Structure 1
Amino acid sequence: MILDELGAREILDAAHVAWSQGDVDGMLRNYDQDVVYWCNAGGPDGGPLTIVGKAALSEFLKAARSVTESVCVSEYFRLIDGVGRAKVEAYIRHKTTGHTLNGSFRQVVTFRDGKIVRVEEFHDAAKIAAFWRLITGEPATAEENEPAADL
């Protein structure tokens, strides 16, 4: 099945709508069983995170939704050779503390047979880490407190 840009965007937007409604299972109906999810932030050490398979992704997303509410929408989308590139605006609210995080991130999404088979997300890693530290009360590491090097 060859997917055009409109069809691919509809799949991605349907996933974002379901996520925004708190429907993880509905979101994952748009994903292949063997999906690979990669994110530049969120790993145990604060670095990249990789999740393989719909069941593992479901577990991860349901844990996130149990403590947060979130709304996201793609503002930009282009599809070239079966790979979509999106800019996504997002809002997250921690249910217990009420702390919020909003901003944008990039997604690179690969489609096969009308499903998402790979998604890569690129977030502001320092901003994400600071949000979760605020929620958990963990102090910043010495490396995170160091000023950024001049470019």
Structure 2
Amino acid sequence: MRHFDLTPLYRSTIGFDRVGSLLDTLSSFEGETPSYPPYNIERVAENAYRISMAVAGFGESDLDIEVKENTLSIRGEKRTEQEQENATFLHRGIASRSFERRFQLADYVVVKSASLENGLLHVDLVRELPEAMKPRTIAITTKTEADKPKVIDSKAAA
């Protein structure tokens, strides 16, 4: 029996916490998942998530973030190559290649904000359920003697 690694599916779906166990029963796809740029997905609160992506060397103008039909797309493309053409590198370890990452978002997960600090792109997500879909608590009341209907005449008519 073959064991399938579903880690790529867990990493690219955000907000599908309840169906995680169901994914284990499905067969996964063959092939390699892209590994650049590296990223983390963390759960900040019960309904809040954060994607942190290492984008060293990319500025705000080099990154595009788009949400369309429950898909979050993050693209990076270096637009200023003039500085690098004039430089002679002895070792080039910082990647500056273009990339595109896509994440499937669950229903009602929205992108709240994005920030770039210290070479990390942080994208904050929140699950906002509509009021009609949120669970409600119904209070249980008991009737007291004062609330019960009063009997005026207890004799049966003949």
TM-score (norm 1): 0.26
Bigger radius of gyration: 2
Greater share of strand residues, 1 or 2?
1
- With normalisation by structure 2, the TM-score equals 0.25
